[in-house]
Amino acid sequence: MNKELVEILKLYSTGTHGELSSYLVGKSKDTLIGILVDLITMYINDKNSSTVREFITVTIAGYNHREKKIGYNGFKQDTFSGKTIKCEAKPKNVDTNSDKIYKLKGYGNLILTNY
């Protein structure tokens, strides 16, 4: 893991907002970009957390993401009936850090439900 990211995670978890802000302000744009890319890569490849993958799937499909973990993942209003259309996203996880070459194709399921 990126040593800068380690320090940021420690400061976020145990330090004050001021300490974290001071640490970040002193970093170059290229360093911050590298840290952000490493954080996104780590989070999106985490086999135990589907939040980002669900967010991406639901948002691209045109739904509003619902942040709660239990229940449906997204919703939108049907323009004709006014009813809320809910969806459950089940994106397939692909580990981009794996030695195996994968081609990302957006596999998974988006299940629509009307309640």
Closest CA to 61 of 49, 76, 51: 76
Model confidence at 15, pLDDT cuts 50, 70, 90, reads very high
Section 93-107 average pLDDT = 63
For residue 3, the one-letter residue type is: K
Q: What is the pLDDT of residue 112?
A: 60
Do 70 and 36 sit in the same domain of this protein?
no
CA distances from 7 to 14, 16, 40, 59 (A): 10, 13, 16, 31
Domain that residue 99 falls in:
48-115
Do 100 and 67 sit in the same domain of this protein?
yes
For residue range 32-91, what is the model confidence (pLDDT) as tens digits?
999 999 999 888 888 777 888 888 888 988 999 998 888 888 999 988 988 999 988 877
The two three-digit tokens of residue 40, written as one number = 């996104």
Give yes or no for residue 104 having a pLDDT over 60: no
The two three-digit tokens of residue 81, written as one number = 């009936």
Do 81 and 98 sit in the same domain of this protein?
yes
Do 37 and 58 sit in the same domain of this protein?
no
